[in-house]
Amino acid sequence: MYWYASVLIMGEAKRRKNLGIPPREKTKDIKVPQLDKKAIQQKVRSTLYKYPIIPFLFYGAAILILIGGLIYVFKSFKIA
């Protein structure tokens, strides 16, 4: 009775050893590429200098979304 429970709880290493399978090979460490903050800042700045309307478009879109959300809340809760 207890041996069946130990088989269910047995870890992968013990199971592989009991089955005669060699141990699993360790995976190689994945190296995360380093981000060059200066280069990214330079690209963003050059894009913003090239198209100076972009910040106004983002701010305008954010304000429209906020106003739309307020209208939705007022309509759904019938506040007005």
Predicted pLDDT at 43? 95
Residue 62: pLDDT above 50? yes
The pLDDT tens digits for 3-32 are 555 556 668 888 888 888 888 888 788 888
**In the prediction, which pLDDT does 11 show?**
80
> Three-state secondary structure along the chain?
CHHHHHHHHCCHHHHHHHHCCCCCCCCCCCCCCCCCHHHHHHHHHHHHHHCCCHHHHHHHHHHHHHHHHHHHHHHHHCCC
Look at residue 1 and tell me whether its pLDDT is greater than 50. no
